[in-house]
Amino acid sequence: MAFTKLAVVKDIPKGVMKKFDLGELEITAANVEGGFHAFEDRCPHMYSRLHQGKLEERGVVCPFHKARFDVTTGEKTRDPRVPVPRALKMGAITGNIRTHDLIVHTIKVENGSAYIEH
């Protein structure tokens, strides 16, 4: 694995997320309390763009169905909230919509720049 320069640290203030394209990789970097974290931009549920969601402390909330992921570990901390049509509420299949953890990448900061391992 190699490190690639992602951003100048001062361009991502505390509490802010920013998306980057690295070839085929779509990465979002988040500044959480001065620490930098990087994760795949696409939500593991239905691939919405997480950088368009909301950063709440250590968690990113998906803009589509509000699944939540810890950006420091990638752990899913809330499953999607998908409205189920009234006619379908009888079936157990529709009651448990789940998704996977988020893929995260290691970031190192040197000389005012953030580098991502991939």
Residues that bind ligand FES (CB under 6 A): 43, 45-46, 48, 62, 64-65, 67, 80
Closer to ligand FES by Cβ: residue 82 or 88: 82
How far is 55 from 69, CA to CA, in rounded Å?
Answer: 10
Could you tell me the smallest distance in angstroms from the CB atom of residue 64 to ligand FES? 4
Closer to ligand FES by Cβ: residue 59 or 80: 80
Could you tell me the smallest distance in angstroms from the CB atom of residue 9 to ligand FES? 28
How far is 9 from 11, CA to CA, in rounded Å?
Answer: 5
How far is 31 from 37, CA to CA, in rounded Å?
Answer: 7
Closer to ligand FES by Cβ: residue 34 or 83: 83
Could you tell me the smallest distance in angstroms from the CB atom of residue 100 to ligand FES? 11
Closer to ligand FES by Cβ: residue 97 or 109: 97
Could you tell me the smallest distance in angstroms from the CB atom of residue 69 to ligand FES? 9
Q: What are phi and psi of 92, to 5 degrees?
A: -65, -25
> Which tokens is 61 given?
């909330």
DSSP 12: S
Judge whether 101 and 69 are in contact, CB under 8 Å.
yes
